[in-house]
Structure 1
């Protein structure tokens, strides 16, 4: 049996992905299940995070979002039976690559997959769903009547945030990076209140948000990257400046950022203080890095797949690639040439 692994390099962009032979133990651990993988989602590897957590290996397993059918269960497994359809995210220290025909995984990392939900959709959208739940529910304490600004709403993560917020009665504003994204976002149902194009120099984020909120600002901002300085590379030009994000926050507002190297200058901190606003860092891997809130995490996974099955969350469909294209697809994802990839086995 073969799996996809990463040979770590100096930088994430230089990481090499290779196919490696792997074997499963003859006997399952008591709380493990053996899963025949039907689809696997590929997301960029955060090698620095693994290093910070002390997870150092010559070969790092690739592909953690999996959907499949249980073939065998351990002696103390209580949640599943053979032939159950399941979906889940493998832990950061998992020795198994999700791009294997069969993997062994602890039952506490899986939930049942609804029958109506496809393998590809389940594996491809699960991580974005976890990120959206973590940002809106865990960090921002979203509630009906709040106003939310989602930056880059046409991304797979942004789309999940928009749909989840609309479902809970939140007023949503979002930004778009191209005319095509603007058209797509304006046609969403349930619809967003306002789509703000940031590729047009005539568009002013601050003035539009002020107009839509009566000058009060938004309750929640969720970014997909931040421009820290005036002089930034060309690919960073469409990202909002950190001071603009703080400026659009209302009193008691909450900024959820995925920018792990965020630096706030004294004027930025002062403005946050004056508004009694707060900043949270979004690290979706924290759920599998710690078992402190395992029950809550499983509840989130279950709710995500049920909402996708019911059509409340409608992720952008990912075109599945066959297993023999998995290495090339992962290289594109790691270099950020592609946001997401799903391999169908």
Structure 2
């Protein structure tokens, strides 16, 4: 089968299309004929080297949407022909940027009929990150105030919608006026332009913060977080952790590492099926042009998600 491979760490140019053996599903696994696969910042970080995956050659990609082609021993929840989407176990279950991907059956959920494969492939890793932060970690409730940083980004724009579905008052921060209307259209109650306004001086107290930026954003967010509130960050920062512990604030900050989760994927599928969750597609690229997708994600201000499409398999809704 065809797959996007890299034999060395480096820039987008190290990504090359090649041929690798067809994967065989083991006990509890399914093989999915990939229709589309999402691209996330963590793909770029792993491509460059220095994160979790150190063995080469490597096929990247965790987000996948496609059709079940075969099932391993013991799989009862799917059968060949089912349309599914999910996140391969992060980080070591990597390999979605290929014609076929294998992963645990319970890393997937049935694709909602109202989503095409490109939309579905944009959801898993980013939506699971947001869902696990907002619901599983913080337990955000109706009426609470949620501050979502980078609200027009891959995780952020989904987090806004999930928080709204929980009944929260949602405040999003963005960089630039062009993104404010987009985030308002997602349902945000307030949108702050970080280029012109200091959110820490204007927002007031909040119950929840989703931080995908760290730096001084994290410390300023803590200054407006209620004493019993929760900040969830996706960015490891040892110095900030130490400073927060020293100040007695460490218990309010939680570092999240996204995990494959059948129940979470089903919840995301239900939100998407109800119309409460829709991904924004910034751009699509053929699988063979994965290097261009990486370059765009690293060098441009993207809104929403970038998705790779298996040539000859594209399936897009027209509504």
Q: Does 1:169 align with 2:167?
A: yes
TM-score by length of 2: 0.85
Alignment check: 8 A CA contact 1:121 1:318 kept? no
Find the structure with the greater CA-based Rg: 1
Q: Distance in 1 between matches of 2:106 and 2:67?
A: 15
Alignment check: 8 A CA contact 1:34 1:105 kept? yes
Between 155-164 and 99-108, the greater mean CA deviation after superposition: 99-108
Instruction: Indicate how the Cα distance of structure 1 residues 316 and 48 shifts in structure 2: closer, same or farther if over 3 A, else same.
Output: closer
Query: Which segments of 5 or more consecutive residues in structure 2 lack a partner in the other structure?
Result: 311-319
Find the counterpart in structure 1 of residue 136 from structure 2. Answer: 138
Q: Does 1:264 align with 2:240?
A: yes
Q: Does 1:253 align with 2:229?
A: yes
Residue number among 39, 44, 54 corresponding to 1:56 in the alignment:
54
SS of structure 2 residue aligned to 1:319: strand
Query: Which segments of 5 or more consecutive residues in structure 1 lack a partner in the other structure?
Result: 211-216, 229-239, 289-296
Q: Could you tell me how far 1:111 is from its partner in structure 2? A: 1.6
Find the counterpart in structure 2 of residue 205 from structure 1. Answer: 199
Cα deviations by residue, 1:220-248 (Å, 9 ceiling, x for unpaired):
111121225xxxxxxxxxxx2x3311111
1:219-230 aligned at under 5 Å gives the runs 219-228=207-216
Q: How many residues align?
A: 305
Alignment check: 8 A CA contact 1:321 1:344 kept? yes
Q: Does 1:317 align with 2:284?
A: no
SS of structure 1 residue aligned to 2:143: coil
Find the counterpart in structure 2 of residue 70 from structure 1. Answer: 68
Alignment check: 8 A CA contact 2:86 2:107 kept? yes
* RMSD between aligned residues: 2.7
Instruction: Indicate how the Cα distance of structure 1 residues 299 and 261 shifts in structure 2: closer, same or farther if over 3 A, else same.
Output: same
Alignment check: 8 A CA contact 2:12 2:295 kept? no
Instruction: Indicate how the Cα distance of structure 1 residues 262 and 13 shifts in structure 2: closer, same or farther if over 3 A, else same.
Output: farther
SS of structure 1 residue aligned to 2:112: coil
Find the counterpart in structure 2 of residue 94 from structure 1. Answer: 93
Find the counterpart in structure 2 of residue 19 from structure 1. Answer: 17
Instruction: Indicate how the Cα distance of structure 1 residues 247 and 259 shifts in structure 2: closer, same or farther if over 3 A, else same.
Output: same
